[in-house]
Amino acid sequence: MPDKKIRVLMSKPGIDGHWRGGIVVSRALRDAGMELIFGGFQNIKEIVESAIHEDVDVIGLSIHSGAHLTYTQQVIDLLKERGVLDDILIIVGGVIPAQDFPKLKEIGVANVYGPGSLVSDIVEFIKERITK
Amino acid sequence: MPKKYDIEQLVQKFKDGDKIALARLITLIENEPEKATEVFKNFQESNHESYIIGITGSPGVGKSTLTKSITKLLLEQGKKIGIISVDPTSPFSGGAFLGDRVRMTEISLHPNVFIRSLASRGYRGGISRAVLDITLLYEAFGMDFIIIETVGVGQSEFEVYNLAYTVIVVLVPGYGDAIQMQKAGIIEIGDVYDVNKKDLGGEDVAAHIDMMLDDSSATQSGWRPPVAMTNSITGEGVDELVGHILDHKEHMELSELIEERKKNRFAYKIRELLYYRIDRILESLINKNEIEQLSASIIRDGKFKIYDAVHDIFSNVKFEMKKKDSD
Amino acid sequence: MFDEEYLKKIREKKEDWDKNFENAKERNVKFVTDSDIPIRRLYTPLDVKGDFLEKVNFPGVPPYTRGIYPTMYRGRVWTMRLFSGHGTPEETNKRWKFLYENGETGFSAAVDALTFNGIDPTNPDGAPEVGTSGVPLYCIDSLFALTEDIPIDKVSVALVVEPFTSAPVCAMYFNMAKMRGYDLKSLIGTTQNDILTMTVGYIPYKNVAPNHLLRLACDFIEWTVPMKNVPQWHPINFTGYNYREGGIDAVQELAFVFASACSHIDNLVERGWKAEDFVNRLAFHLAAHKDFFEEIAKYRAARRIWATLMKDRYNIQDPKSMEFRFHVQTAGSSLTAQTPKVNIIRTAIQALEANLGGCQSLHTNSYDEAICLPSEEAALIALRTQQVISEETRITNTVDPLAGSYFIEWLTDEVENRVMKYIDKIEKVGSIDKALSTGFLYKEMRDAFHKRRARIEKGEEIFLGVNKYPEPYDTCTDVFRTNESAIQIEVDRIKKLKARRDNAKLENILDKLRNMCEKEENVMPIIMEATKEGATVGEICDIYREIWGIWEPPLAI
């Protein structure tokens, strides 16, 4: 009888202190029955190493600093280098201009959530992609 | 897409010291305990022993930061450390917010450390069923120390007592913790006590614990639990605390009390495995719909009939169990 | 405030009116303020309690309910101060000059996340954020670049840095001013230096514990004002705005700033100063949020509460030391990324609240701020918004024009009472650093946030374009991008500085700083010396971290 839970790492790459968005999404994912590992401030190596130790299904990157393209690219490059990129779904949220959505998806992000996004959409998206 | 794991391949990589493989074997056993047999048969020739430390205390006393500080010191001594951080699963959603790792970022990249956050997953007492399995995997992986960190709510302090060879109880000044512990009997389980956040005071808490220890039977084994004071932000006092832990370790090993604890550890696991199987049988016998219907009918016909209703169900269960036995 | 006999008559008539219109139809919505204060259909003289001279009185005299100056905007219009800061100090200087030419009357430098947290650009963990959310000010050279050709003794400058980095950044600024030939006694400006901004407004990255932050904030106040090194400076700006943005309401906003201000005063009094020595230089920074009348009542109540606190708690005699001086910022959290031009309307209405409430200085948000730092065009519209109010509306004709409104006076009382109760609640936990380290304020912030979120989800709080008449997000505005080569420019700036400074001499000074930190002596004199010799913000903050350890704030989800 498998007791499978979706495991998610929520991380804030860099040093910007706008945590609220990441925490709200974390809460919503927990309330949707997922196991949410809260990484807080992490550098790129720390994000990837945590994702590996915790064997997560999803990495959520919460970025409000305007440096989303750089950080996301760095995370993806390192996941690839460690050979785990294909096993992990990456979602990005925060103050991300809509103009940057296609670029992020192109480099391997599964979905992007800008201001005014509904947490219920994020929950649905993850469930859909991980369990099906 | 759910991930797929190939046990044989993972075990091979695990034996080469690959952390990805360790992480995935943990997931596998946590999700499908049945697979443990298949995984563990690969490690039967391994006889490496890790020393297991348990850290417990109320939420907010700084256990994770302390775990980090202790680990930092042990890493400096060249040790390999496996950490297990347990947080409760929400009984309503089945989800969990695992927030211990955020306190350990500083050590998380060290090659000799592995940190895993675990949700209790509704397991009785609050410690994840998978904890003991992970300690076994950590032992097979060659860890020198295993640190199990768990929120001390309800029964989990006592569970950590059954899993660890040295138990550290963490308290902070000003929360009336000392009195609470006396009530809860926690004073019986600590091998080392630590008053953290000493910058907020704490001499009186420490004195209070000392007094209670003097009055208790805690010294029967020839070990008088020491009371340390730390500030896990500055790292002040952590040296001394680690000193106490290593002293206790030595005491355990010299007095062979450690054999007692090991017996405890496995007896506990065997008991839990049996409970787990029995639980599953019981779960399969209890019909959720039936309970709901009965509950509705009791509300309708009178709540004082509740014992009759339980009695009826129970006779059915007994019947079913007999049937199962004869199968 | 009214004749008893006449009130009796009004009461009778009011009862009749109530009865007659009891069943008059009202919409099925909750009539409450943003702080959940229930609002009645109508207010009359019956609702205005107390003595006019005691509670309302005239402007320029205690309790200052109507304003701290007798003439208010008839004497001088509020300072128009827009937050600036992006890319590099040179680019920010350029933006300052652009706004100055267009009528801005005060400058403000919002710093980037690295300067906020005392991280140098040579640290790869933060490097991608150089200049992305403010101006990078890592060393004294940056301050020269920032203020080039700016008369800093004529136009006031607000440095938006918090206790963790206020000493090094401001020391760099003061050293720069001295080297330029200014007398520090002539400098005018403000340092934000607000402990709560960096702890509950945002989550700090590798900062030190609240008790040390409080001490650093007070070191700075002590050195500038009572020690008279920069006597005209506002050494602290209690920034209720920042935590209000995190979801708390108007009542909590005021209670947070007053509880915090009292902890700072207590700290300095413990050091042996008298409150009179410095309280008239303490400044405040409040929000102008969505609830029009409640915000106006909030400003009026704030002035009265402050005067009362100064008089009753600190036994202050000089009326000048009871004046509540405040800057206002329109609410960034009320803006939407969807249909951004609607933000211009929101900002204009909020700006009007601040002016009707008698602010000393005002920042109007740019319409693109929900998505990026302000573009030049958007910043100009924000400035013009204030100018429409000051130049075209004639609201500046008289002082406190809303006084005497039954509703406004009642609401001012109501806000005041609630704030006093909430201050008690905070102070039961202890001084402001205790309220932080115990996690109390974090829980309050969390609860407020989730309450607001639930309200938005239920449609009780409206965001046009988001939860009513929703618009797709991808129709948003042009995005202002900060200079991508800022990282390289700033790394080079620091390299150049390090090449020319006397490292042995500096090491010596930094050792003295270690000593000061351990001995709990005022760090400012030694930081003045260190930054003059070329110490960077990161180097100073690393010493704090080394001596006091890195603090992990409570995690309230």
Going along chain B, which residue ranges are E strands? 51-57, 81-87, 96-98, 113-119, 145-151, 166-171, 192-195, 227-229
Provide the mean pLDDT of chain A.
Answer: 94
- Answer yes or no: do C474 and A65 touch at CB < 8 A: no
Q: What would you report as the CA-atom Rg of chain C, rounded to the nearest whole angstrom?
A: 24
Q: Partners of B170 in the beta sheet?
A: B57, B194
User: In B, which residues are within 8 Å of C543 by CB distance?
Assistant: none
Q: Is B129 on the interface with C (CB under 8 A)?
A: no
- Give SS3 for B84: strand
Nearest-Cα distance to chain A for C247, in Å, is 10
HEC secondary structure over C22-34:
CCCCCCCCCCECC
Q: How far apart are CA A17 and CA A65, in angstroms?
A: 9
Asked, for residue A2, whether it belongs to a domain, the answer is: no
Nearest residue on chain C to A102, judged by CA atoms? C474
Report the C-alpha gap between C133 and C115 in whole angstroms.
10
In this structure, what CATH number is given to the domain that contains residue A106? 3.40.50.280
Q: Touching check for C115 and chain A: CB below 8 Å? A: no
Kindly state the average pLDDT of the residues B31-54: 92
- Beta strand A111-113 with A58-63 is unpaired
Within B59-99, strands assigned E span: 81-87, 96-98
Positive or negative, the Cα torsion across C244, C246, C252, C257? Answer: negative
Q: What is the pLDDT of residue B202?
A: 75
Q: Which of C449, C476, C557 sits opposite A98 (nearest CB)?
A: C476
Max Cα distance, chain B (Å)? 69
Of C211, C552, C557, the CB nearest to B65: C552
- Asked if B90 lies within 8 A of A53 by C-beta distance, the reply is no
pLDDT of residue A1: 42
Tell me whether A1 touches chain C (CB under 8 Å). Answer: no
Burial (Cβ within 10 Å: 0-12, 13-18, ≥19) of residue C22: exposed
Torsion, Cα B187 B190 B194 B195, to 10 degrees, reads: -20
Query: What sign results for the dihedral spanned by CA atoms C102, C104, C105, C108?
Result: negative
Chain B contacts of A31, Cβ < 8 Å? 90, 93, 95
Q: Flag if B102 and C552 touch (Cβ within 8 Å).
A: yes
Please report residues of C whose CB lies closer than 8 A to that of A119.
none
d(C-alpha B142, C-alpha B130), whole Å: 18
Whole-prediction pTM value? 0.92
The list of chain C residues with pLDDT below 50 reads none
Which of the residue ranges B73-77, B229-233, C240-244 would you say has the lowest mean pLDDT?
B229-233
In chain A, which ranges are continuous DSSP H helix?
Answer: 20-31, 44-53, 68-81, 101-106, 119-131
How far is Cα C92 from Cα C72, in angstroms, rounded to an integer? 31
User: Is B4's pLDDT higher than 80?
Assistant: no
Q: What average pLDDT does the structure give for chain C?
A: 95
The subunits that touch chain B, with at least 3 C-beta pairs less than 8 Å apart, are: A, C
**Would you call B233 and C211 a contact, using CB atoms and an 8 Å cutoff?**
no
Amino acid letter, C316: I
Residue A67 domain-assigned (yes or no): yes
Give the one of C205, C338, C482 whose C-beta lies nearest to A17's C-beta. C205
Q: In the predicted model, is pLDDT for residue B171 greater than 50?
A: yes
Coil vs helix vs strand at B149: strand
Q: Which residues in chain C are closer than 8 Å to B100, comparing Cβ atoms?
A: none
Which residues in chain A are contacts of C116 at CB distance < 8 A? 17
H or E element in which residue A54 lies:
none
**pLDDT at B125 exceeding the cut of 60:** no
If one counts the domains in chain A, the total is 1
In a domain, A41, yes or no: yes
- Are the Cβ atoms of A16 and C113 closer than 8 angstroms? yes
Name every chain B residue with its beta carbon within 8 A of the beta carbon of A39. Answer: 101-102, 105
Distance CA B38, CA B109 (A): 31
Checking if the pLDDT of B65 tops 70, the result is: yes
CA distances for C513 relative to C172, C506, C532, C543, angstroms: 16, 11, 14, 8
Q: How many CA atoms lie within 13 A of B4 on its CB side?
A: 3
**How many angstroms separate the CA of residue C321 from the nearest CA in chain B?**
34
Percent of chain B clearing pLDDT 70 (strictly above): 87
Instruction: Please report whether residue A1 resides in a domain.
Output: no
Spatial contact of A96 and A109, defined as CB atoms under 8 Å apart: no
Answer for the pair C344, C381: CB distance below 8 angstroms, yes or no: yes
- In C344-371, which positions are buried (b, 16+ CB within 10 angstroms) versus exposed (e)? bebbbebbbbbbbbbbbbbbbbbbbbbb
At A31, is the secondary structure helix, strand, or coil?
Answer: helix
Cis peptide before B91 (omega within 30 of 0): no
Segment 243-272 of chain C within 8 Å of chain A by CB: 246-247
Find all residues with CB under 8 Å of A62, minimum gap 6, and list them.
A10, A11, A12, A18, A19, A21, A22, A25, A93, A94
* Contact call for A17 and C557, based on CB within 8 A: no
Query: Tell me: the pLDDT tens digits for C445-460?
Result: 999 999 998 899 888 9
Nearest C-alpha neighbor of C494 from the set C526, C451, C535? C535
- Read off the DSSP letter of residue C320: G
Are the C-beta atoms of residues A119 and A36 closer than 8 Å to each other?
Answer: no
Domains, chain C? 52-475 (3.20.20.240)
- Show the CA angle centred on residue C58, arms to residues C55 and C63, nearest 5°: 45
Four-residue CA torsion sign, B14, B18, B23, B28: negative
Rounded to the nearest 5°, which phi and psi values hold at C468? -145, 140
Q: Residue B241: enclosing H or E segment and its boundaries? A: helix B238-254
Half-sphere exposure of C534 (CA within 13 A, CB side): 16
Tokens of B16: 């080469």
C439 vs B: CB within 8 A: yes
- Cβ-count burial of C435 within 10 angstroms (0-12 exposed, 13-18 middle, 19+ buried)? buried
Mutation for testing the C interface, residue in A8, A15, A113 having most C CBs under 10 Å: A15
- Quote the tokens at residue B238: 């952590």
**β-pairing, B166-171 with C237-238?**
unpaired
Confidence band for B152, pLDDT divided at 50, 70 and 90: low
Residue for token digits 């109880």? B169
Chains that touch C (3 or more CB pairs under 8 A): A, B
pLDDT at residue number C496: 97
The pair of three-digit structure tokens given for residue A19, joined into one six-digit string: 């945590």
Q: Minimal Cα distance from A128: which residue of B?
A: B1
Domain with A20 in it: 7-131
Shortest alpha-carbon distance between residue B151 and chain A (Å): 16
Task: Determine whether the interchain pair B199/C209 forms a contact, defined as Cβ–Cβ distance below 8 Å.
Answer: yes
- Nearest Cα neighbor of A119 from B91, C554, C454 is C454
Instruction: Enumerate the β-bridge partners of residue B57.
Output: B151, B170
- In 10 A of CB C79, how many CB atoms? 20
Contacts of C202 in chain A (CB under 8 A): 16-19
Say what the ipTM of the complex is: 0.95
Asked if residues C189 and C152 have their Cβ atoms less than 8 Å apart, the reply is yes
**List of E strands, C429-488:** none
Query: pLDDT at residue B183 above 70?
Result: no
Measure in Å the smallest separation between the Cα of B110 and chain A Cα atoms.
10
Closest alpha carbon to C306 in C500, C125, C511, C67: C67
Contact A35 B90 (CB under 8 A): no
